[in-house]
Amino acid sequence: MTYAIIFILAYLIGSIPSGLIVGKAFYNTDIRQHGSGNLGGTNTFRTLGVKAGLIVTSADILKGTLAASLPFLYETFFSNPTVHIHPLLAGIFAVVGHMYPLFAGFRGGKAVATSGGVLLFYVPLMFVVLLAAFFLSLYITKYVSLSSIIAAIVALIYSFITWDIPLILIVLALATFVIYRHRANIKRIKNKTEPKVKWL
């Protein structure tokens, strides 16, 4: 029962639609009706601006971090050493919630920020490396989508270098999510119709 509760909580945390909340509460805008229709940080940046984009991206990262911390919090507050749930396993439920949110008609984001938040809790140094890879790629290519995919590939390489088996398995799943969710972007990049960032 404890395992189910933690996994459900993680999914519900991931389901919090940060982009939808910020857009409606502060801008009277449903970002699903604008741009790519996506609830993630990138579409928020394009639709509502830098400030809103930063808030939504930060919130989406924190969703993953909070979800990954649930097993630790449970063991700490309930002093139950018999419950051992890997933080990455809890975190992946939050990523699924972010992609298919219960609170937003199962139309969510592309898993990048929330995946990063999960890794931030488990391997903070890896998160820093991925940020560096993302922004270096963004500086060179000006494509957020391509930079997200490159960061996912770097995450895979990093996990194999550490040879942490749970990390390898979860990162493989997360990278698959990220690449799959960007399949339309990949087509647009090939057709040279993918929007580029203009502020970098």
- For 9-31, how does the pLDDT look when each residue is reduced to its tens digit (9 = 90+)? 999 999 999 999 999 999 999 99
Round to whole Å and give the CA distance between 137 and 150.
7
Side chain identity at 109, as an amino acid letter? Answer: G
- For 120-133, how does the pLDDT look when each residue is reduced to its tens digit (9 = 90+)? 999 999 999 999 99
The answer to whether residue 200 is domain-embedded is no
- In which band, very low, low, confident or very high, does the pLDDT at 76 lie, cut at 50, 70 and 90? confident
The answer to whether residue 195 is domain-embedded is no
The answer to whether residue 111 is domain-embedded is yes
The answer to whether residue 147 is domain-embedded is yes
Please state which of the ranges 51-65, 69-83, 155-169 shows the lowest mean pLDDT: 69-83
- In which band, very low, low, confident or very high, does the pLDDT at 80 lie, cut at 50, 70 and 90? low
pTM score, two decimals?
0.94
Residue 40 to residues 1, 36, 143, 147, Cα–Cα distance (Å): 32, 10, 15, 15
Q: Which domain holds residue 78?
A: 2-190
The answer to whether residue 126 is domain-embedded is yes
The answer to whether residue 198 is domain-embedded is no
Name the nearest CA neighbour of 4 among 81, 89, 108: 89
154 has a pLDDT exceeding 70: yes
pLDDT at residue number 200: 67
Q: Structural domain tally of the chain?
A: 1
The answer to whether residue 153 is domain-embedded is yes
Round to whole Å and give the CA distance between 6 and 158.
28
Burial class (CB in 10 A: 0-12, 13-18, 19+), 163: exposed
The answer to whether residue 197 is domain-embedded is no
Residue 2 to residues 9, 77, 154, 160, 183, Cα–Cα distance (Å): 11, 13, 34, 31, 36
Round to whole Å and give the CA distance between 146 and 66.
27
